[in-house]
Structure 1
Amino acid sequence: MYKLIEPEVAGGLGENTELDNSVFPPLVKKLNYEFEGWLGGDILESFPCYIMTERLKKTIESENLSGITFDDVLISKSETFLDLYPDKELPAFFWAKINGKDYKDDFFITEQNGLAISEKAYSLLQKFNVDQADIEAL
């Protein structure tokens, strides 16, 4: 049983993101996630990328879930974010690179460019803040 998850969108690709727009989805070489707001989600999205908090990353790694690797992400805050949340501290985030192959892995990207997760991954994510994510059966 797999599920489709659409995480909270708390911002977008920042000006320091390096990507190749000649392909679809765009190929991101360096990710800068710029926060506009944040409702506390442990997994966030800005097409075509996902980021996760360090605590979620460590749990995924300790459970040996497949179809995902992690890389550094440059985090920035927009002027809007700074105006709305001048004292808000953000936790450490990591770029979640989804490289799973269909239903063999715990994480993979569907043909419609959605994020699919296995039952094992879903059970794990339920222990974290995914309240703002839309999750439905695949």
Structure 2
Amino acid sequence: MKYFYLEPEVSGGLGDNTVMDSSVHPPIVTRLHYEFDGWLGDVIVTSFPCYLVTEDVKEKILKDGFSGVRFDKVEVTTSELFEEMQPDLELPPFVWLKVDGEAGHDDFGLAEDHRLVVSESVLDVLRPLGISNALVEPFQAP
């Protein structure tokens, strides 16, 4: 099985209602609030150290039985910039994608440098759904 770094679109940042412990690296987030500044349409987005996917992607991941990931709720809001630049855009429902797998072993994992690593099977599912703004590079296990 081949594995790849997947660096998703950064569509915003952690909102004011995020609860995290930033005394450790990477920070431990216990409550996620993601504020969109804009959205180019990808089904996976990020703001370190968190990832979000659309509800449709969550259902596909669960249906296909991919390993190394679980889901949680996220508070999603839009910034003034979003409202100004994309006033007619309605965001799809998003969920928090929590990666807990081993890079190069599970379908979802985090590399030692904390970048997301996914299996080729995951890429095959995500590409047709929309990840055109993400950076994808081959992953080599250390």
Quote the residue 2:63 is aligned against. 62
Answering whether residue 123 of structure 2 is matched by residue 122 of structure 1, we say: yes
The secondary structure found in structure 1 opposite 2:121 is helix
Quote the residue 2:23 is aligned against. 22
Q: Which amino acid aligns with 1:101?
A: E
Quote the residue 1:42 is aligned against. 43
Q: Which amino acid aligns with 1:131?
A: S
Alignment of structure 1 residues 79-118 onto 2, 5 Å: 79-118=80-119
Cα displacement (A) at 1:71: 0.5
Unaligned stretches of 5+ residues in structure 2 = none
Quote the residue 1:9 is aligned against. 10
Q: TM-score, normalised by structure 2?
A: 0.95
Quote the residue 2:136 is aligned against. 135
Work out the number of aligned pairs and report it: 138
Root-mean-square deviation (Å) = 0.7
Q: Provide Cα deviations, 1:105-125, integer angstroms capped at 9, x if missing partner.
A: 100000011000011111111
Q: TM-score, normalised by structure 1?
A: 0.97
Unaligned stretches of 5+ residues in structure 1 = none
Q: Which amino acid aligns with 2:129?
A: F
Whole-angstrom distance in 2 between the partners of 1:136 and 1:96: 20
Whole-angstrom distance in 1 between the partners of 2:121 and 2:61: 10
Cα displacement (A) at 1:78: 0.5
